[in-house]
Amino acid sequence: MTSGNNPPVARTLARTLLLLCLVVWLGGLVFFGAVVAPVAFGTLMPMFPDPAFGVHVAGTMVRHSLLALHWMGLVAGAIMIFLCAVERGMQWTRRSVVPYLAVLGAMLALTAFLQFSILPRMETLRQQAGNAIDNLAPDSADNPARAEFNRLHHLSTQLEGGVLIGGLALTVLLARPEPEPELAPELYKEPVVS
């Protein structure tokens, strides 16, 4: 840390990029849940005379939006881990990065699981149903593929919620004030200014 009110430009840039990554990831999650999915199924789907085709189009839009959102989260999370390590390595912060890295790791793990396991299995079930999973009987006794799709959809919704909660927790961690040097002397080293 530097004394005074003028932190080095690199430190400010690193913190700005870290916060920007978090804003992009969380903003994408909120926008998806509040706008994309409701518009796809509430507005777009009814525009088609064939309800099954409307569901297919809305589902395809939502799936592709989620795939893009997950890639955004994976890239943003990787950048955030790097920036946390840089901040700590350059001693621009007295905070422990362990809580950040734990939350980020959990968010990345959930996002990767959704991207590379849950969504591909849902897509396989949708294709096996002739791209019309909603045309299958909803009763699991009548159609185990539909029941599995519904189970995976419910799980994906819960996991996306977990990522959002992790992002909110990370926001709180980043908003906390720096510990005072006397409370964490092992984390504080004044840089030498020549």
Does residue 3 lie in a domain region? no
pLDDT, tens digit, 9 for 90 and up, residues 77-115: 999 999 999 998 888 888 889 999 999 999 999 999 999
Domain that holds residue 150: 11-176
- For the segment 39-63, the average pLDDT, to the nearest whole number, is 90
Q: Is residue 182 part of a domain?
A: no
What is residue 142's DSSP assignment? T
Say if 193 falls within a structural domain: no
Angle of helix 9-31 versus helix 51-89 axis, rounded to 10: 160
pLDDT at 180 (0 to 100)? 77
Residue 186 maps to a domain: no
Q: In this model, does residue 129 exceed pLDDT 90?
A: no
| 162 or 135, higher pLDDT | 162
Q: 172 in a domain, yes or no?
A: yes
Q: What is the dihedral angle through the alpha carbons of 65, 67, 68, 71, rounded to the nearest 10 degrees?
A: 150
**Rounded Cα–Cα distance for residues 188 and 136 (Å):** 62
> pTM score, two decimals?
0.84
Report if residue 5 sits inside a domain: no
b/e burial code for range 35-73 (CB count within 10 A of at least 16 → b): ebbeebbeeebeeeeeeeebbbbbbebbeebbeebbebb
Q: How many domains does the chain have?
A: 1
Instruction: Look at residue 120 and tell me if it is in a domain.
Output: yes
Flag whether 32 is in a domain: yes
**pLDDT tens for each residue of 145-171:** 888 998 999 999 999 999 999 999 999
For residues 133 and 143, give the distance between their C-alpha atoms in angstroms, rounded to a whole number: 10
